[in-house]
Structure 1
Amino acid sequence: MARNEEKAQSMLNRFITMKEEEKKKPKERRPYLASECRDLAEADRWRQQILREIGRKVAEIQNEGLGEHRLRDLNDEINKLIREKVHWERRIVELGGPNYTRHSAKMTDLDGNIIDVPNPGGRGPGYRYFGAAKKLPGVRELFEKPPELRKRRTRYDIYKRIDSSYYGYRDDEDGVLQGLEGKAEKEMRAAALADWMEMEKIKKEAKRAVMSGDVAEAGAVSKILFEGEEDVVEEERRIEREKEEEMENEFIAHVPLPDEELIKKMVLEKKKQEMLSKYASDNLLEEQTEAKAMLNIQR
């Protein structure tokens, strides 16, 4: 029995294959420029053809054993086809067809997160990496986010976040502080009222004992005196302490001191004597002294 290869090489099979190829239409080549196409159906057909080529190459680039050079070439070819697809999609919109760019796929990193692709040219998508090309040397770093440096806050940033809550002006808005203060206020009012009623009771008993001539209890009288005179004694002690402090700080002069005017006159007189002794003769000074004595001039 003949093998399959021998059957394919037989004269009859080669003749049949040649006749089938002659019946087929010549293979059409995709236009180099999308603007050359005038038919919407043709433009959509060429777009579908580009998508099939992209799919085949994307499936091929998933193989990490192809080598670095082959992976880079495949990635360049895929990016070239993507740019060509964008041109055809733009041409389809110009011919009145649907806008396919609205639902275009997003670029993702190794973890599947969508990232922004830089686009320096401003037209069409930026350069993308697919499959095993994302793990090539120098490419992995592009997808890794740099660690966020914790910036130290300045004094301006700290004060900028301070509001009325920081100073406690809004502590009573939640209602917790109001309940605690209300409870404490009731307890303080009850204690103060009990003390006042007790003092009033003691005063009434002491007054009744004085009016009737009886001797009041020593404990009640001492308590009244203590309550009434405690503030007075404390005030007197405070005044005495202040007087003692003032006496300690006060400067006591044991000899009479000249006032400021007398000191100024003495300094001026001394300066005059120095000027006269410097520029006047001894005879002139003696005559001046005798004249002052005769006229009874003290200065």
Structure 2
Amino acid sequence: MARNSEKAQSMLFRFRAQQAADLGIIDVGRTRRPKNITEIASIPQCEKWRGQVLKEISRKISRIQESTLSDYQIRDLNDEINKAMKEKHVWELQIRNLGGPNYMRGARVYDDDGKEIPGGGKGYRYYGRAKELPGVRELFEAAKPKVPDKPLETRADLRKLVDASYYGYNLDEADGTLLAYEAAEERKAFENVKKSGNDKLDKSWEPLPGDAGDGKGWLLPTTEQIQEELVNRRRQKLLDKLG
């Protein structure tokens, strides 16, 4: 009877374990993570295993910052982080293929504790103190863009130098500085003309209309005269077309 009871309990335990696994209610701490990720057809299970991988990545990234680690330990730990990153990507791909959420779309990834998981890009990456390893530091230094000795001026830099005086809105005429300078230069020009003896007008020059010294200025047409002239021109165009 004892054996039959133990068998029944064992069968019931396995049945409940299988049922919990199908529902995604599994103890990931006591169960070994499956190797063949593509064979897992349950989205909740994939979510659980992905969460476990994220926790491992977060824990190892925190540990790789420790100053007591040797270079060999840092290299091994960095390899483990990159391996876990690849596994995380496969779990996310399987979740998406099963119709679950697309975790690969987001730029940032967080674990179950709310910690951000850096990285996630393609290729081998270096985390924490792994960037300071011999040979790796030189790679990062060589990859940095070279800053020119004298950076080129951008349009924004040039716009900072432009003020109202650039467009001619200055106070030269307001304070009389420019007017005084122009008057002095004009007097110098007249003095030079008198000294050279060329103060007489050239006979080939023709005066402007209304400015021949007779005291009559220019006669500007009125608005009525302009409108009448326009009407006459339109009437003449119509007559030309009819003719």
Q: Scaled by the length of structure 1, what TM-score is found?
A: 0.39
Instruction: Decide which structure has greater helix share.
Output: 1
Q: Which has the larger radius of gyration?
A: 1
Q: Which has the higher contact order (CA 8 A, sep 6+)?
A: 2
